[in-house]
Structure 1
Amino acid sequence: MRSRSLIRELDYSIPIITLALVIIGLLMVASATQTNGFTNNPFVIRQLIALILGVIFLILSLGFDYRVLKEYSEVIYLLNIILLVVVIIFGIEFSGTRRWVRLGPINLQPAELVKLGLIICLADFFAKHKKELVKIKQCFISCLYIMPILILGLAQNDLGTNLVFIFIFAGMFYAAGANLKYYFTVVITAVLGIGGMLFAHFQLGMSIPLKEYQLMRLIVFWDPTIDPLGYGYNIIQSKIAVGSGGLLGKGLFQGTQTNLGFLPEKHTDFIFSVLGEELGFLGAVVVLVLFFLLLWRIFKVALEAEDDFGQLLTIGILVMLLFHVFENVGMAIGIMPITGIPLPFISYGGSSLLTNILAIGLVVNVNVRRKKLKF
């Protein structure tokens, strides 16, 4: 009886849209990593394993009330810290960053799980202190709450993940009812501070906590032709791939930029470029519409949530997915700097796919419990 009541409350559009995006993602990963066909492709197989695990965890998660997570927020916060420290100590360095920890044949990206853990912790923290957020003292304490996560993220040289942390915090802080005067003071101060550091670095030679490749990504974002065969190569090739797709695309598995190896990181960072080349403008629009519908339904769940914790939890997931989509698509078409952020449900990456499915599981959990169930 209880399970039937839960099912009646389910917004089926959320899992259906998610499944559609995952299927498109599997096709794009298969196309970007063509080796021995679809079924024998190791990238597709690993992605399918992550999908199956995610679905299992999602189903299991519906068996408990999401509000139970509030009781373990301190433990989850500590686990977030531990996971990031483990990456710093034991992580595998690739392209200047430490993101992965090897567990036998599996490469785990703990920061992906930390994103979801941070959302849970912030939802509990802001829900408990919602009435106090109008005070400058609580605004300051809120900033201190996330600071250890940001410092450890910076120690991994993972600028992209840190940006996700910051946007999750900013979105949830705003949704929780922060004093707008203090809120925008912090935002403007941060923007001016970053701009000032960059100016001082380029004009005065001041050292800042960014690696050379991170600075170069910012430089070539404005003009990729400064270093067309080096740091600007990725942006240039990505824009060529997207533009060459035209209206209908070159056809699935038929992308020349993709198949001939011109497009870098094609199964991860630039999976949207593969999609644009092979499925064209119409295919890209379909995917973006699916993302819009998913985000809209998540926003609707947030509006209908029964409690502050559930609402903030859903808003945090909404912000995380929104920023991922905006940044990944933006860097593929050259309107955002390259940060290595994956496209949710579509980019290759077991940790990312598993985390995003778990996030959808929490949204569904809030959705089905938006009303008091009668048995």
Structure 2
Amino acid sequence: MRATGFLAPTPDRGLSRQKSIWSVLHLDPVLLMLLLLLVGGGLFVLYSGADRDFGMIKAQGIRMGVALVVMLVFAQLDPSIYRRWAPWLYLVGLVALVAVLLVGVGAKGAQRWLALPGLPRFQPSELMKLVVPIMAAWFLSRHFIPPRLTHVAVALAIVLIPMALIIKQPDLGTALLVGTAGLFVVFFAGISWKLITAFLAMVSVAAPMMWFFVMRDYQKQRVLTLLDPQSDPLGAGWNIIQSKTAIGSGGWSGKGWLQGTQSHLEFLPESHTDFIVAVLAEEFGFVGMLALLGLYLLILFRCMYIAVNAQDSFGRLVAGALTMTFFIYIFVNIGMVSGLLPVVGVPLPLISYGGTSSVTLMAAFGVLMSIHTHRRMITA
């Protein structure tokens, strides 16, 4: 009897299906498209913020190209590699931070860089923005979730030691970003609200001590300027006053690209770096700011989707912490430019001029893509 079509064997389409180019490259097309859109828009705004300096745009384009390559490389590595190498990377980072304090290269009153023979000058603190959350996730994922009090204490030590070394450089802005990234790992691990309340109480008690024994004079001046910028309008308060003037003058739709007066007449300082969002608000107005915040929000949603769908606790903790670190970049920069937070030198992510922070952020997105694309099929 001839076999019917119902009984005839058919090839397994799932096994014969070819992998897409995105699967081969271990890239998430949605996140990649959003990042490219943000980088392209950032170069567009930077051209105005840099007062039409094409050389600066070219240099930033090269840096962004390098950052994208770094993202691609980090995306190729299996998350198990990050887990396995976390303790060693953390140890190397601590040694590098100590070396910065001993033999680091100084500039503008801060000692933050290392200059090793045969290597370009770099900031070890930027490396710790990635290493600290990965190390904290490595430790906590090895134990039961939610963690016990002793495990929380060890995780906090993992976070606070490099944070203290970075504060000594001094670099309070980077220290806060590193500490926040690690603390988000501890928070996502599921600690109780009692511990969170106790930690916030400890921070509140320690804040006055930090003011008298940790913070430098210029850092204190930033806080005082935030509270009353008009006390020194031609000195310490100049940046915030001019930034708020630029933002307010943009109105609903802005003055138009390249038509901003605060930046092009040199009233607004650092218009191509920390205060570039003021340039965007002046030239594109409220509509432009909504577009920027909407794009950032889509990136954050996609990253949180990746974090929620990670297959193990290590991946979820790392992805969640890196996502929230990106949010803190956005929140702190826009907050300080609009006069809601002290000026701490945090750039607007992937828009402000500069290469170090862009490479670090793209490396973080590469880790997120690695977590998302290296998921293993679970069989019954």
Please, what TM-score do these two structures have when normalized by structure 1? 0.89
Match of 1:113 among 98, 121, 127: 127
- CA shift, 1:141, in A, is 1.7
Q: Which moved more, 1:238-247 or 1:45-54?
A: 45-54
Residue 67 (structure 2) aligns with: 54
**2:146–2:190 Cα contact (<8 Å) kept:** no
Residue 307 (structure 1) aligns with: 312
Q: Which has the higher contact order (CA 8 A, sep 6+)?
A: 1
Assess, with a 3 A threshold, how the Cα gap between structure 1 residues 71 and 22 changes in structure 2: closer, same or farther.
same
For each residue in 1:339-366, what CA deviation from the matched residue of structure 2 results, as whole angstroms up to 9, or x when unmatched?
1111111111101111111111111111
**1:227–1:233 Cα contact (<8 Å) kept:** yes
Using the alignment, how far apart are the partners of 1:106 and 1:241 within structure 2?
37
Q: Equivalences for 1:149-298 in 2 at 5 Å?
A: 149-194=162-207, 196-197=208-209, 207-298=212-303
- CA shift, 1:157, in A, is 1.4
Alignment gaps of 5+ in structure 2: 1-17
- CA shift, 1:117, in A, is 1.7
Q: Equivalences for 1:23-38 in 2 at 5 Å?
A: 23-34=40-51, 37-38=53-54
3-state secondary structure, aligned to 1:334: coil
Residue 11 (structure 2) aligns with: none
Using the alignment, how far apart are the partners of 1:179 and 1:274 within structure 2?
42
For each residue in 1:2-53, what CA deviation from the matched residue of structure 2 results, as whole angstroms up to 9, or x when unmatched?
5658269964221111111111221222222235x43xx1x32222222112
Match of 2:37 among 20, 27, 31: 20
- CA shift, 1:330, in A, is 0.6
Using the alignment, how far apart are the partners of 1:92 and 1:251 within structure 2?
41
Using the alignment, how far apart are the partners of 2:273 and 2:101 within structure 1?
22
Using the alignment, how far apart are the partners of 1:215 and 1:172 within structure 2?
29
Identity among equivalent pairs (%): 34
Using the alignment, how far apart are the partners of 1:312 and 1:111 within structure 2?
21
Residue 81 (structure 1) aligns with: 94
Using the alignment, how far apart are the partners of 1:247 and 1:105 within structure 2?
47
Using the alignment, how far apart are the partners of 1:289 and 1:132 within structure 2?
33
**2:177–2:325 Cα contact (<8 Å) kept:** yes
Q: Look up the equivalent residue of 1:29 and give its one-letter code.
A: L
For each residue in 1:145-186, what CA deviation from the matched residue of structure 2 results, as whole angstroms up to 9, or x when unmatched?
223201211111111111112211221111012233223211
Aligned-residue CA RMSD (Å): 2.4
Using the alignment, how far apart are the partners of 1:9 and 1:372 within structure 2?
15
How many residues are matched?
361
Q: Look up the equivalent residue of 2:215 and give its one-letter code.
A: L
Q: Look up the equivalent residue of 2:167 and give its one-letter code.
A: L
Match of 1:363 among 343, 359, 368: 368
Bigger radius of gyration: 2
**2:263–2:279 Cα contact (<8 Å) kept:** yes
Please, what TM-score do these two structures have when normalized by structure 2? 0.88
**1:83–1:114 Cα contact (<8 Å) kept:** no
Match of 2:153 among 132, 136, 140: 140
Using the alignment, how far apart are the partners of 1:8 and 1:81 within structure 2?
32
Pair 1:122 & 2:145 matched:
no
Using the alignment, how far apart are the partners of 1:319 and 1:2 within structure 2?
31
- CA shift, 1:243, in A, is 1.0
**2:159–2:183 Cα contact (<8 Å) kept:** no
